[in-house]
Structure formats: C-alpha cells, structure tokens
Structure 1
C-alpha cells in the first residue's frame, strides 16, 4: 500500500528502489532504440524500395498511433493486473515485433511489424512511471520521472548512432532486429521485481479508501469482492482523469512539445545527410549530439523544476513553459534564418537542451494531481494524447511538408508547436497548486510499521 505521500518507498530499501529504477530505465532504452533505429535505415529503405519521405515518416508515425490506441487499455491493465506483469508482457511483445521487422519482405510487412512494435510499447510508459512513482517520495517525483523519460533521448542516441554504423556495415535487416533479444531478456527479468498495491478510489467522490491487507493473485492486494466494490469503475476513472484542469493542460502541452521533439529525432539525420553531404554513420553521429543534449536537458531541467517547486509549486510547470518558448527561438533561427554551417549546427545542438525539458515534468505534474490508484491510467491518457497528437504528427507532417517545400523549410515551420506547448504549460501552472492540494488532502492513511511483507507482492 502507498503511504500518505503516495509512496511505498519506506517499505523497501533505498538500494532496492534504485535497482528497480535502473532496470526500468534500461528496458526503456531498448524501447527507444527499437523505435528510433529505423531512421538510420531511411537512406537504404528509400533506395531499396523507392519510398517517399511521407512513406518513411509513416514508419515512425504508425508506432505512435498504435501506442495512442492501446495506451489506455494497457494502462488500465497495469492498474488492475499489476505494473510488473504488464511491464514484462509489453517488453516481450515489442522485442518480438522488433525481430519481425528484420525479416520483413516488403514495405507493407515492415509497416505492420512497426505497428505491432507500438502495440507492445503502449503500456510500458504508464506502468513504468506508476511503478517508479510508488518507489520514490513525491518531492523527488519530477526528478525520478525525468530520469525515466530521459531514457528516451538516450535510447534514441544509441539507436541513431549504432543504427547508422550497423546499417552501413551489416545491412538494414540486422540493424532493425539487433536489440530484440536484449529487450526480451530485460522484460522477463521484471518478473522478479516486487509490485505494490494502491488504495482504491471511491466511486462516489474519488476520495481514497483504505484497502484490506488481503493479497490477490493479480498482485494488487484486493480480493474479488473488494475489486467489485473498491476499484474505480470506468466512468469514475474517466472523471478522475479529467477532473483536474492541470492534468488536461499537461496532456495537451506534452503532446505539442513532442510534435517538435519527434520531428527532429526522426528527420535531423536525413537533413544532415542531405544538407551537409554526410554519410549515414556521420549524420547519425552529428544528430546524436542534439538527442544527447535532450537527455541532459530532461534530467537537468526536471531536477530544476523540483527545486523551484519547493518554494512555489506552480513553478514545476513554469519551467517547461519558459524553456519551450526558448526552444522555438533557437530552432527557428537555425532553420528559418541560417543555412547549413557551423552556426546552424551549434544552435541545433543547444536547442536540444530545452526542447526535452517537459519529458519528465509533464507526467510528474499529472501524477501529482490524480488519485494514486489511477496513476498508470493517467499516464496512459497522457501517453494516448502525446502519441496521437504529438509523436504521430511530427514525423508524418514533416514528411508531407518536406515533399512539398523541402526539408529545411519543414524544420523551420515545425518548432511553432513549441510556442503552443509553452502556452499550455503556463495555463496548467495556474491551477496546479489547487489541484494538487485537493488530491493530497484526501490521500490514504499511512501504513503501520512492519507491514511491508503484506503490502508488497512477490
């Protein structure tokens, strides 16, 4: 069970919590490697099958669409069936789909395999975020989730860099399937991780209710009768997900921000190859610096948001708002004012820092303003919105603009979404403190000392 702060941290050692976090991050890295490595094969797929930029972008977009479609069902499964089991199942599914990509015989088969990869990845983010939010205290939540979300940029770096080298030396088939086996092994290792049980939401008013100590076979700690009477019904869950204006603005702001992030993670290697005359491996290495800057920015600014929120909680969302606006200025100058050269490339790399600032802070704010028993579902809603209106939009829309006006023009236009994201986070910050107080004020009672063996499933 969670304590009054929404954390199970006092029930496990700090070392155990950190080991779980490292395992969660490691599996997330394979997730993003499998998702992103395809962009390094674009030149080879374009040559082999005569594909347009729109068709290539669709290979990235279909993953995001699949994640969006299955995010809520998978997240609800995590809340009901257990976070650990969901992580193991989802990790195994996307790893097998990555292996299927390697044996695709044509574009349609590759597109289908990429779609299945997205289905597998749909539940991992919500389940992983919910698991970590229970293992660490609320005061560290943005920092911990920023580290978790930073696995995306880091995995993308590895996908782009290793993909560029491997595609040139081993071929695109081996490249697409290379990380399927490591991901499968990490997913199965999660079957040894302890899960925790969250208090239920009252169907009447959404307030926390004390759950009994009986452990269920699903690892959620509720009996069948308690499941029927204590768990939030679908209608109550939906009301809880949209009760908070802060959560709604975070859903939207995170999506708008990811339009830009997905655009540059997908198309920057191709732009550098075309505009600077670089090989696939060289373009991957250059693009990796932008993505690596995002990895640093996600952690750095997530921690900054936590520090600033200690004095005034609403600053947790003001930090990504300001940084999103700054990212637009840097990227527009790089592609709308400057041309290929050292100055442009320097601005691109610097822009990688603020453009990823909301990766951890947005989901952390969502988790802060919803009841603990629907955390995974809330992150699932964020995942749905962010993938359907963010990650799915960027690669495909950029491909369409590139086919019509050229890739540099497309990359100059797409950062406008950063300004919209900044506005959404600013609006969310206005209701954050009130929404957070409403949830924390009705939290569950603390767990009595010495009950950890009953509260953690094995």
Structure 2
C-alpha cells in the first residue's frame, strides 16, 4: 500500500528546534555510553581485564536502562517530560565525568551503573517529545532518525573518544564528553517548554495511570514489535561494542585507526536506520505490512553477518560488515511506528519505555555481554559468528505479527 502525499500538515519551525536539541542530547547520551568501547584495549592493559569484564562495563548501562526505563518513563509522563529529560541528562553527564576519575575496575563499574540510571528513560521520553510536535505521517522516519542519533553518538563516542584517548589518555576522553553533555543538559529546559508540547497538558497527564497500562500490551502485533525490535538490536548492540577491538586483534590496527574505521561503520549503521525508516513511511502502511518489511530487514542482516565472518580479514569482509551494519538497526523505524500507532498519545512516553525495555532486555544489554563471555571461551571471531541467530529469531517474531493483521488506530482510540 502506497501512502498519499496530499493534505499533509505543515511542520512548524519550533518542531525542528525541539528535534535538534533532543537529538543533540541523544548524541551526548550515546557518546557517554560508547566512549568506553573505544578505550577497551587501554583499560584491558592497565587493569588486566578479561573480555567478560569489558563486556560487563559496556552492557551494564543497557541493563540499568532495561530495569528502570518503564518506571522512570511513567513518572516523566506524569510530572513533565522536559524537566525529566534535563534531570536525566545532568545525571549521565556527571556519571561520565566520574568514569574519567575512576581509579579501579570497581569504581568504573559503579560509575557506569550511574550512567545507565541517567540514560534509563531518555530514549523513550525523548522520542515521545519529538513525535508530540510533528505530524503523525512521519512517525517511522522520526523514530528511525532519532534512534540513528544513537548511532551518531556512538560514531562520535568511538571516533572522538578514541582519538582523544590515543593522544591524551582515556581519562580525558571521558571528561571531555561528560562536560559537553552537561552544558547541553543545562540549556535544554531553557529553550524547550512543557506548555508547547502536544499532549502534555494536565488532562492528558491525568490519563496516565496503572489502570490503562494494559493498553501497552494489547494485541499480538504490539507485543511482537517489542520483542522483534529487541532481538534484532542484539546485533546492533554487539557490533558497535566489539568492532574496535576486532580491528585491533584481527587487522593489527593501532587503536586510533581501529576506532576511526569503527566510527565509519557506525555511521553506516545510522544511515541504514534512517533510510529503512523512510522506506517504511513511504512504501508501506499498517502494522502487518511493516512487520513483513522488518522481517526482510532481519533476514538480510543475518545473511550479511554470516557471509562477512566467513571471510578472513580483508576488503571483502569489510564491505560485507558495512552492509550488515546498514541493516543492524533497520527495524527501529517500522517497530517504532507500530508502537506509536497502536498506543494512546498520552502513554507514548511509557509505550516507548516498554520498547526501550525490550530493546535492552533482548538486545542492547545481552549483545555486548554475551559476546564478551563467548569471546573468553571461543575467541572474539567465534563469538561474533553467533550473532545471526538473533536476527533470524527477530525475523520469526515479525512474521508472527504479519500473520495477524490488527487495525492500527483501534488501540489508540481506546485510550
């Protein structure tokens, strides 16, 4: 089904201001999360860490996000999304500064836990703010673009963090990123106002209660969107975490070169999120059709990762890995649009929190941790060769959604 382009509402300039600032904080969020992966080799050498310990430092942020995203998002829907966003950004920025001051593995792990607490609900509340000021027909594109901002942050976290760490040490990399995020966090509530966000008045907030939380799990398609998105992001979590280390070990690259190459791959992943989201908005309508498209994305990613890791280091492997990264986060747009269109507007912050919970519980948290655990036992290459299994499982979940068409607006109207 092809969408019609007639009678689509104009986009106010203020919406783009909100998008830019919220997108900027998302970049800060993921820079704070990803800079650690750029300095894996330095931390491993300085503190004599195993791959499993490194994977835990990376994955613990996603674990905390998974545990706290729903309660914090629900609180943000009730007390105000703008002030909640500012508070979260201040916390993760300060925690990133503490990472730069850590004197042991235990202190670093504690600081990373605090980073996760600060970032717990930002993705869900941030996208709820954005879709509240934009027309409905752009939801898949906006969701994909917003999540691509996460990869943009990972690109900068790896690229900038790796370059700073190589020349000035890993501590300064954390300190620079933490200070940048803190400045943006303090400026955000001065420009973005709660009263200008659609669906943020007292009537809409009053609708948010435990009694209607059941609407967040109504119907098979909604549940499949959560689970399928999370399973596919197992790959999108593992590859960014381990690519810099993979290039150091298997391509004998120095740290600065390895992080620069990895940053390019992450940029490709971000572009893939956006392009795949645009395709979803322009070429398909209805949750069942979006589920079919998402399943195709997952299968394509599985094939490309399998092919890439069947080659030894070289140009062919790099090309295939780049193509796999393009599809690693491709389901963000279709699944985000499914969630937005099947839930009430007053609960969008909490709905995207459930999606974030699934993304972290099934993908972003276990991806780097399980890969690191396996790498200690069968080597990093062997561990990465298991990644296509997650994509194939995600494809099966989306196929299950496609077999059970569900009217998109029925659930939202029930709110």
Which TM class, normalised by the smaller chain length? Answer: over 0.9
Is 1:319 matched up with 2:300? no
2:136 is aligned to 138
Q: Report the CA distance between 1:233 and its aligned residue.
A: 2.8
For residue 282 of structure 1, what is the aligned residue in structure 2?
Answer: 257
Aligned residue number for residue 380 of structure 2: 407
| Residue segments in structure 2 that go unaligned for 5+ positions in a row | 1-7
2:342 match: 369
Deviation at 1:197, TM superposition (A): 6.6
So what's the TM-score if we normalise by structure 2? Answer: 0.93
Match of 1:214 in 2: none
**Quick one: distance in 2 between partners of 1:134 and 1:319?**
25
Per-residue CA deviation, residues 133-158 of structure 1 (Å, 9 max, x unaligned), is: 11111111111111111101111111
Higher helix share: 2
Q: Distance in 2 between matches of 1:272 and 1:76?
A: 41
In the alignment, which residue of structure 2 is the partner of 1:155? 153
Whether the 8 Å CA contact 1:63–1:114 is kept in 2: the answer is yes
CA distance in structure 2 between the partners assigned to 1:63 and 1:161 by the alignment: 20
**TM-superposition CA deviations, 1:79-135 (whole Å, max 9, x none):** 101111111111111011101111011000000000100100012111111111111
Segments of structure 1 that go 5 or more residues without pairing to the other structure are 1-8, 200-218, 444-458
Q: CA deviation at 1:77?
A: 1.2
Q: CA deviation at 1:427?
A: 2.0
1:85: which partner in 2?
83
Residue in structure 1 matched with residue 209 of structure 2 by the alignment: 233
d(CA) in 2 for partners of 1:267 and 1:246? 32
Q: Is the contact between residue 57 and residue 395 of structure 1 (CA under 8 Å) also seen in structure 2?
A: yes
Higher mean C-alpha displacement, 74-83 vs 383-392: 383-392
Residue 384 of structure 1 pairs with residue 366 of structure 2: no
In structure 1, the residue matched to 2:168 is 170
Decide whether the 8 Å contact of 2:129 with 2:197 is kept in 1: no
d(CA) in 1 for partners of 2:405, 2:256: 44
Q: Deviations over 1:29-71 (max 9, x none)?
A: 0110110010111111011100000000000111011111110
**Structure 1 residue 418 corresponds to structure 2 residue 394:** no
Say if 2:368 is the partner of 1:395. Answer: yes
User: 1:115, 1:106 → 2: CA distance?
Assistant: 14
Runs of 4+ in 1 over 6 A off after TM superposition: none
Could you say which residue in structure 2 is the equivalent of 1:294? 269
Distance 1:246 1:13 in 2: 29
Task: Kindly provide the CA deviation profile for residues 362-388 of structure 1, in whole angstroms up to 9, marking residues without a partner as x.
Answer: 222111101111111111111112112
Distance change >3 Å, CA 149–CA 398, structure 1 → 2: same
Q: Structure 1 pair 65/432, CA: closer, same or farther in 2 (3 Å)?
A: farther
Mapping of 1:56-71 within 5 angstroms?
A: 56-71=54-69
Could you tell me how far apart the structure 1 residues matched to 2:405 and 2:92 are? Answer: 35
Aligned length: 406
Q: 2:325 is matched with which residue?
A: 352
Q: Matched residues in 1 for 2:402 and 2:83: separation?
A: 34
Q: Does the 8 Å contact 2:227/2:358 carry over to 1?
A: yes
Q: How far off is 1:309 after superposition?
A: 2.0
Match of 1:439 among 402, 405, 411: 411
Deviations 1:188-224 (A, max 9, x none): 222131235766xxxxxxxxxxxxxxxxxxx6324xx
1:171-250 to structure 2, matched below 5 A, reads: 171-191=169-189, 192-195=191-194, 220-222=201-203, 230-237=206-213, 239-250=214-225
* CA distance in 2: counterparts of 1:22 and 1:174, whole angstroms: 27
- The 8 Å contact of residues 308 and 316 in structure 1, kept in 2 or not, is answered as no
Q: Give the corresponding residue for 1:209.
A: none
* Contact persistence 2:133–2:197 (CA under 8 A): no
Separation in structure 2 between the aligned mates of residue 186 and residue 74 of structure 1, nearest angstrom = 21
Q: Which has the larger radius of gyration?
A: 1
What RMSD over aligned residues (CA atoms) do the two structures have, in Å? 1.9
TM-score by length of structure 1 reads 0.85
SS at match of 1:178: helix
1:255 aligns with 2:254: no
Rounded Cα–Cα distance in structure 2 between residues aligned with 1:313 and 1:377: 20
